[in-house]
């Protein structure tokens, strides 16, 4: 299992030829005030073995204080094996994409947060990676 891409961004679209278009990639931001809402997306592209079919992708974000700000679980549904000259490539890894809309996720503290990605099936949990992002203190503007 391999993470090919995991980013936070302002906007994401998929083109007609299945390309991901990401705008405004970030790992920190400074809101006008706290508490605030995150307005963005988490884009995850994984390379998975076919044995991951039917498992779940669990995504959670937590602050340094252990407070969870969001948790999302997505079922992993992999397409049937690719065919080359009529033969299935059963052992080939498969690309799995997930776009998670974070619009409206509330954050109350300026802090460093971790986004933990894990594959789960029952009690089995395989940690893939933890990304970090930072919310800065609001900027005070004196006029």
Here the tokens at position 1 are: 């299992």
Q: What are the pLDDT digits (tens) for 77-113? A: 876 655 455 555 666 788 889 999 998 899 989 999 9
Rounded CA-CA distance 41/123 in Å is 28
Mean pLDDT computed over 26-41: 92
Rounded CA-CA distance 66/64 in Å is 5
Rounded CA-CA distance 52/42 in Å is 21
- pTM, to two decimals: 0.82
- In three-state secondary structure terms, 64 is coil
Here the tokens at position 78 are: 């992999």
pLDDT of the residue at 113: 94
CA 88 to chain centre: 30
Per-residue pLDDT band for 1 (boundaries 50, 70, 90) equals confident
pLDDT of the residue at 94: 81
Q: What are the pLDDT digits (tens) for 40-70? A: 999 999 988 888 888 999 999 999 888 899 9
Q: What are the pLDDT digits (tens) for 7-23? A: 999 999 999 988 999 99
Here the tokens at position 14 are: 């998929």
């Amino acid at each position: 299992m391999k993470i090919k891409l995991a980013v936070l961004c302002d906007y994401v679209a998929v083109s007609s030829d299945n390309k991901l278009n990401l705008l405004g990639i970030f790992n920190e931001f400074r809101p006008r005030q706290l508490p605030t809402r995150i307005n963005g997306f988490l884009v995850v592209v994984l390379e998975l073995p076919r044995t991951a079919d039917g498992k779940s992708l669990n995504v959670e974000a937590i602050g340094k204080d252990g407070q969870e700000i969001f948790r999302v679980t997505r079922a992993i549904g992999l397409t049937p094996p690719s065919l080359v000259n009529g033969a299935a490539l059963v052992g080939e890894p498969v690309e799995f994409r997930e776009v998670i809309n974070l619009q409206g996720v509330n954050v109350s503290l300026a802090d460093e947060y971790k986004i933990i990605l894990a594959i789960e099936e029952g009690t089995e949990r395989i940690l893939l990676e933890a990304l970090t992002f930072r919310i800065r203190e609001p900027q005070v503007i004196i006029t």
